[in-house]
A = this chain, B = another copy of it.
Amino acid sequence: MTLTKRRASAAKAPSTETAEAADESPWVPSAQRAMQRELKRQAVLQTAAQLFNERGFHATSLDDIAERLHVTKPTLYYYVKSKDDILLECVRAALGMMQEGIDEVRRNGGRALDQLMACMRSYSAIVCEEFGKCVIRIGEDPLPEPLKKELRRLKAGIDHEFRRLIDEGIAEGSIAPCDPKMAAFMLAGALSWIGRWYRRDGDLTPEQIADQAIALLLNGVLQPVPAAPARRKPRATAA
């Protein structure tokens, strides 16, 4: 069947026996071939990530991925080395997008608080996507140590950007004095968790979730005390 299909599509190409000009060749030019290959590789990763997030990493086999893509397992091996390799690429892609999101915000400049909010928005959007969900739901646990280390390094880089923005926010007076490390962990934790519970068929869109999440994390959950003399909402002291 596959062979027949391939022959059929080959038959659509100009049927000259000796193709003189490059654009008359029945073979696809190499640049285009590379692009097609990359598109297919991305489809493999996306489908795999979807299955990992639906069924769990352990419960997903390469056969499952091949089946959903309507290809054979040997075809998959043309694009990826192993299930571990797929996970690595998915997580790497998500962490790369997070870092790019932050870099773009930094380039645009502005108040640290506005930058922080923009970074939170970008982070939150990514954890609602399949690759981002993989970071949160599966993470690097199934991977061997050197790869774990690489992914931890990428994550630490993102974490440091959050800390730096909080630090700058304190300096500019928009963020209340606090331990930037703890605050960054709280923000990243709450936002990361979205990747655990977000469902595409849920009540809220990723944008609505980001709006509510940012408002809750910036303002806290307490009802402000309306007492006139108190000009600052008192910090809660844990009982």
Instruction: Show the binding face of A for B, using Cβ within 8 Å.
Output: 56-59, 113-114, 117-118, 121, 137-142, 144-145, 148, 166, 169-170, 173-179, 182-183, 185-194, 196-197, 204, 209-224, 226, 228, 231-233, 235-239
Contacts and interface: CB of A to CB of B under 8 A. Distances in A.
B223 A220 contact: no
Given A174-B223, A193-B193, 7 more contacts: A113-B222, A117-B236, A137-B141, A175-B223, A178-B216, A214-B238, A215-B237
Contacts of A166: 221
A59 B226 contact: no
A161 to B, nearest CB: 15
A233 to B, nearest CB: 5
B186 A58 contact: no
A57 B141 contact: yes
A209 B238 CA distance: 11
Contacts of A144: 59
A122 B150 CA distance: 33
20 contacts: A56-B141, A56-B142, A59-B144, A137-B141, A138-B141, A176-B223, A178-B212, A178-B216, A182-B216, A185-B194, A186-B190, A186-B193, A186-B221, A187-B221, A189-B196, A190-B193, A219-B233, A224-B231, A224-B233, A233-B233
Contact of A216 (B139, B169, B186, B188): B186
Nearest to A207: B238
Nearest to A191: B189
B193 A211 contact: no
B222 A176 contact: yes
A214 B148 CA distance: 31
B222 A175 contact: yes
Nearest to A52: B141
Contacts of A183: 216, 221
Contacts of A215: 235-238
Given A179-B212, A182-B212, A222 B219 contact: yes
Contacts of A185: 190, 193-194, 197
